[in-house]
């Protein structure tokens, strides 16, 4: 609680860092912040053509929900490696909680993600009308804030961990691209979870321990009404996001006092 109160004292710095992250992303762009809406729109159009031509065995709405959730995850982990090393002067000269750097980075990506979800909702409404696609919306929509919180806890935990690791091991930024590529294919984005359940057999429970599996599955439940598997392993995988958050923050706080000497 004391740590949270200490971070709250630096809310102005966090806000400025979030705005800085957003400005840098669209610096020099004629449309600026509008790209937060245009990017997902163009992406959805490209995937519409892609899935139509290649006839992938997954419907477009399911694919897009998975892609947007994955992009939020990837952006946070990719940005996390430089969350500390990109600010050497501030870290060496100023005393404040270093965790504001990964926190502000995650919040900036969260803002982009929220705009993407708005575009997704509009796309699903139009797609269901044009192609007679049935979307079984129900009380599950009310779970959206909880699912966003679940994923934000997950990415914050990993962001703190990788931001800390990259201070001591500069190879992390090179390993990250390989790690994310493997992780992508181990997450039900280009395919449905039911396919894994049918083919993985006894390894299905092991597959469910991937913390991004429940995240993507729950987003599909919220937006498309596709029910998640009701199993103890799935629930444990959901809770693992908060364990990763606690572990990542704990590691970060343990080593942040040495950042100025190492960076």
With a threshold of 0.75, does the pTM exceed it? Answer: yes
pLDDT tens digit sequence for 77-90: 999 998 888 878 88
Q: Is the pLDDT of residue 262 over 80?
A: no
What's the rounded Cα separation, in Å, for the pair 67 and 30? 26
Average pLDDT over all residues of the chain: 84
What's the rounded Cα separation, in Å, for the pair 69 and 114? 11
| Alpha-carbon separation of residue 153 from 59, 83, 106, 158, 222 (angstroms) | 29, 17, 10, 9, 18
Q: Is the pLDDT of residue 121 over 80?
A: yes
Q: Is the pLDDT of residue 130 over 90?
A: no
pLDDT tens digit sequence for 209-230: 999 999 999 999 999 888 898 8
Query: Which of 153, 170, 148, 168 lies closest to 102 in space, CA to CA?
Result: 153
How much is the CA Rg of the chain, to the nearest whole Å? Answer: 19
What's the rounded Cα separation, in Å, for the pair 123 and 138? 18
Number of domains in the chain: 1
| Alpha-carbon separation of residue 216 from 17, 161, 205 (angstroms) | 28, 22, 16
Residue 59: give the domain boundaries.
2-262
pLDDT tens digit sequence for 17-68: 888 877 776 665 545 455 555 666 666 667 667 666 666 667 888 888 998 8
**pLDDT value at position 260?**
78
């Amino acid at each position: 609680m004391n740590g949270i109160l200490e971070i709250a004292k630096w809310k102005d710095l966090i806000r400025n860092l979030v705005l800085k992250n957003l400005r840098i992303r669209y610096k020099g762009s004629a449309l600026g912040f509008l790209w937060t809406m245009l990017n997902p729109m163009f992406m959805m159009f490209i995937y519409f053509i892609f899935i139509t031509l290649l006839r992938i065995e997954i419907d477009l709405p399911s694919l897009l929900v998975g892609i947007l959730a994955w992009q939020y995850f990837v952006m946070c982990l990719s940005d996390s490696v430089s969350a500390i090393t990109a600010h050497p002067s501030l870290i060496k000269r100023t005393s404040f909680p270093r965790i504001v750097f990964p926190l502000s980075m995650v919040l900036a990506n969260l803002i982009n993600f929220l705009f993407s979800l708005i575009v997704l909702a509009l796309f699903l409404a139009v797609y269901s009308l044009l192609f007679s696609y049935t979307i079984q919306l129900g009380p599950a929509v009310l779970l959206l804030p909880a699912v966003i919180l679940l994923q934000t806890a997950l990415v914050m935990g990993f962001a703190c961990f990788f931001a800390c690791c990259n201070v001591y091991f500069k190879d992390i930024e090179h390993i990250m691209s390989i790690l994310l590529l493997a992780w992508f294919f181990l997450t039900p984005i280009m395919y449905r979870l039911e396919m894994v359940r049918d083919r993985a057999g006894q390894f299905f429970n092991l597959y469910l321990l991937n913390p991004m599996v429940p995240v993507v599955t729950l987003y599909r439940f919220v937006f498309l009404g596709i029910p998640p598997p009701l199993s103890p392993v799935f629930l444990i995988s959901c809770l693992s996001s908060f364990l990763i958050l606690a572990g990542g923050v704990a590691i970060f706080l343990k080593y942040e006092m040495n950042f100025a000497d190492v960076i």
